[in-house]
Structure 1
């Protein structure tokens, strides 16, 4: 015969108190003498009462839960980040709840307001669309939030980003070292920090190599595969197309490869390509994609550690942590002398 489920009235009976008193204690709506509080906690422990666990955690001053707000989960980069963040949170005895916004401002605002209702103790927050000021307004006055991967300009909260400028330099140098001199940059929305920083690294690498920066070779749009295809059409229509492209994300690089195939061209024979992210598919496609590895797992772990320190009031700094990047060389780049 199965054990009878322990309910709130059982706890109240063992503690010698009314059910209403125990309920109010668990919902943190009453202050009781220490001796009475101990009777309730002893009864909960003796009976192994698990009901209303959220209320119990709140009665101790927090939900013991961290929210991870992401624009999407289908992108392998965000999936890797989420897995690492969950493991790091679990190591600190925190649960992690995943919140997917699809870049919908209403959803982003809803999850930020969870802090007001104490449904979560803190948030790791990522967006990949430019802010028109409304998201900043939601973030102002909030604490226990860490921005990850992308900035919300003006937000005075801790932030964890990849070293985008260094990544842009490394990506462009891969192409320069292969002999390419007419190189394009294809990135996401121009208003995003990551796009501007990777483009700046691209510009710096060209300048250091004594090469000109041509505005017609810089295309910014959406961080989508479709925009990668559109970018190829525009670049190939130029009187003097580039011989190589730095894509601001591996997902954009997939679109560039799609676009080349639509023109009956291929990489690296007709166009050398380097991406950014080192997503798990980068070495599975043909050709295997040269790219810049930004460690999504380290982004997630670093953000969790920073948030835990904030929750423990060990730091109040609005710091910006930068995660190092690494150049990964594969088969999507060929020496210019070998290209058609």
Structure 2
């Protein structure tokens, strides 16, 4: 007959250490500060017995876990991949794990994953979205403890937020392009309903106007290479096309560049280009692409700090706006003609 392997439990640790089960439980949950000798006895008993805490039981008892949830639109997108990596590193440094879900940027999957994260009693939820939002999702997010929005604000959701200065990014792009003499500029944005899209456009528009230039072309749509290809076709059909473009994401820029290359339109000879976020290997393109860089690592780190503070009872809901910077490369030049 096979003998059952001894699996030590909380009561075995308590008996070996000479304390109550409640003392061991509260010590492991960091709810109790013990004298040094008592804590040492408990630690020694855990090592001696090979005790491994039941994390699921602990999370049920505490109503939270040592895990934070991260919901992003697309793990293959360089921006979201870098953000996920920064969150994981910051969480690990704080002794937390990360439960990651990618939604394919669809509302039904967002709602599904928010519900699943709450059911798993994560300590907090870091949430990123990149499309128009439903009132049902907003309500679910408002009902989620320890919520932090990253990158994109969602109307009606009250929580801590880590965003970047999108307006400043648009202004820096417009200032740089007009400094090279461009007077007719295109804006190729993401979804028009998003606050980040409107803010980037507003910054570009205001910087252009301050220099006596104009945003002469606007196109909005999904963050995708297909959107970039559509933009290229639309730009090439304009009777008097802009001489420069500010593109709201790397994915859009990739499609735009591919279509321009097929059409024989050289960057920056016929069209100067600035890309927002600088997440992909934009320095490896020919020419290397000038970009507005978001502090992606800092965004992830600050978000983890906020979610950890919330899990310890901090009810503050700050909105943090991180600065962006212009990375000058070789995709902007003076226009041949206007």
What range is the shorter-chain TM-score in? 0.7 to 0.9
- Corresponding residue for residue 175 of structure 1: 177
- Alpha-carbon separation, structure 1, partners of 2:218 and 2:226: 17
Superimposed CA distance per residue, residues 86-107 of structure 1 (whole angstroms, 9 cap, x where no aligned partner): 1111111111121111123233
- Alpha-carbon separation, structure 1, partners of 2:94 and 2:53: 23
- Alpha-carbon separation, structure 1, partners of 2:178 and 2:305: 38
User: 2:68 matched to 1:69?
Assistant: no
Residues 190 and 248, structure 2, Cα contact 8 Å, conserved in 1: yes
Residues 224 and 255, structure 2, Cα contact 8 Å, conserved in 1: yes
Residues 257 and 266, structure 1, Cα contact 8 Å, conserved in 2: no
- Alpha-carbon separation, structure 1, partners of 2:195 and 2:51: 49
Q: CA RMSD in A?
A: 2.4
- Corresponding residue for residue 319 of structure 1: 318
Structure 2: runs of 5 or more not aligned: 29-41
- Alpha-carbon separation, structure 2, partners of 1:93 and 1:195: 35
Residue pairs, 1:1-340, within 5 angstroms = 6-7=6-7, 10-11=8-9, 14=12, 35-38=20-23, 46-50=48-52, 52-60=54-62, 62-114=64-116, 116-214=118-216, 217-313=217-313, 315-337=314-336
Pair 1:78–1:39, CA change in 2 (3 A): closer
Structure 1: runs of 5 or more not aligned: 18-33
- Alpha-carbon separation, structure 2, partners of 1:164 and 1:327: 12
- CA positional deviation for 1:207: 1.5
- CA positional deviation for 1:39: 6.9
- CA positional deviation for 1:80: 1.0
- Corresponding residue for residue 20 of structure 1: none
Residues 173 and 326, structure 2, Cα contact 8 Å, conserved in 1: yes
Superimposed CA distance per residue, residues 17-47 of structure 1 (whole angstroms, 9 cap, x where no aligned partner): 9xxxxxxxxxxxxxxxx82434788565541
Secondary structure of 1:297's aligned partner: helix
- Alpha-carbon separation, structure 1, partners of 2:136 and 2:204: 31
- Alpha-carbon separation, structure 1, partners of 2:274 and 2:262: 19
- Alpha-carbon separation, structure 2, partners of 1:95 and 1:6: 28
Residues 10 and 21, structure 2, Cα contact 8 Å, conserved in 1: no
Residues 244 and 272, structure 2, Cα contact 8 Å, conserved in 1: yes
